[in-house]
Amino acid sequence: MQNLIVFNNVTVDGYFVDSNGSMGWAHAQKQDDEWNAFVAENSKGNGTLLFGRVTYDLMASYWPTPMAAQQNPLVAARMNALSKIVFSRTMDKASWANTKLLKGDLADEVRNLKNQPGEGMAILGSGTIVTQLAQEGLIDEFQFVTNPLVLGKGRTMFEGIKDVLRLKLTKSRAFGNGCVVTWYEPAA
């Protein structure tokens, strides 16, 4: 069975997008060698990326561009090469390389995907699907990069969750740029 992880940036005040729906602030952190090494190492996986339509549109508008290749060549190459799935009932086609469009029931589709052979799956961004899949107990691990800034307003990743979601901290790591990565699993 494949594991499903969430990897998202959040602010100290708990937002994963600002009031305009942008995550641009997450890429503006002060760089340092340790952080850069972590990002490069974390980008080496060969699993499948899962997106909702909004995050997919954002990612597909940046990663296949020459600007992405120039600014962050290792991550751009990995993002473009990895297998991707976008969940949307409104899209007609997904044009980013190696992307499959799924229109069925989100939880059923993910249950099916988890039971197929593979190297695991990761959700980037996509707060709406994170909320739905967390509520269904389908996420195996949450990885959060807490950025050292406060937005004051925006949207939380778990906006609209109906039941309390208890998590267990399994690991944490602080970086010189002020970011702290925390790993959580659903608590029993």
Max distance between CA atoms of the chain, in angstroms, equals 45
Query: What are the residue boundaries of the structural domains of the chain, listed by start?
Result: 4-186
DSSP 25: G
CB-based burial of residue 77 (10 Å sphere; 0-12 exposed, 13-18 middle, 19+ buried)? middle
Strand partners, 4: 121
Domain 4-186, what architecture?
3-Layer(aba) Sandwich (3.40)
Res 75: pLDDT? 83
- Which residue carries 């980037």 as its tokens? 124
- Which residue carries 């925390």 as its tokens? 182
Which two three-digit tokens encode residue 140? 């195996």
CB-based burial of residue 166 (10 Å sphere; 0-12 exposed, 13-18 middle, 19+ buried)? exposed
Strands 121-124 and 180-186, sheet pairing: unpaired
Res 84: pLDDT? 97
pLDDT tens, N- to C-terminus, the chain (188 residues) = 899 999 999 999 999 999 998 888 887 767 788 988 887 777 777 799 999 999 999 999 999 999 999 988 888 898 999 999 999 999 999 999 999 999 999 999 999 999 999 999 999 988 899 999 999 999 999 999 999 999 999 999 999 899 999 999 999 999 999 999 999 999 97
Res 151: pLDDT? 95
Which two three-digit tokens encode residue 159? 């906006």
CB 56 within 8 A of CB 79: no
Name, in order, each residue with C-beta under 8 angstroms of 118's C-beta and a sequence gap of 6 or more: 2, 47, 48
Distance CA 155, CA 168 (A): 23
CB 4 within 8 A of CB 140: yes
Res 25: pLDDT? 87
Res 41: pLDDT? 79
